Amino acid sequence: MKKKILIVDDEPNIVMSLEYAFKKKNFEVFIARDGSEAIQLLEKEIPDVVLLDIMMPNIDGYQTVSYIKKHEKLKKVKTVFLSAKNKTSDIEKGLEMGVDQYLTKPFSVKKVIAEIEKLLI
């Protein structure tokens, strides 16, 4: 069965490159442009992992992760921040919120895929 990934980012080029790469790796890919779209999607689909930016319009990545962590039906969903916020305090805040991984931009698509695959083993 295909693994499902939800990519949440408001930068179209990032979304396109990640979507293409994950589809090539045989993932079922869902896209949301911000946290509010992600939450709407999470009402219908339960992905294996949510890969999300922090700084987005409407509902940001922090709020989206809080939503995921609060809902019992989503407790098995892995969460990964992919953000330009790369200070130690930013990374610590993400990890304290319970994200499974914190990756920083700019990034290597190969590294992101490798990290996601490790999480799903």
pLDDT at site 46: 97
Length of the chain equals 121
Check if the beta carbon of residue 49 is closer than 8 Å to that of residue 2: no
Tens digit of pLDDT for each residue in 104-113?
999 999 999 9
Pick the CATH number of 4-119 from 3.40.50.2300, 3.90.1150.10, 3.40.190.10, 3.40.50.720: 3.40.50.2300
Tens digit of pLDDT for each residue in 36-91?
999 999 999 999 999 999 999 999 999 999 999 999 999 999 999 999 999 999 99
pLDDT at site 1: 83
Check if the beta carbon of residue 25 is closer than 8 Å to that of residue 55: no
Confidence bin at 120 (pLDDT 50/70/90): very high
Q: Specify the residue for token string 């962590």.
A: 69
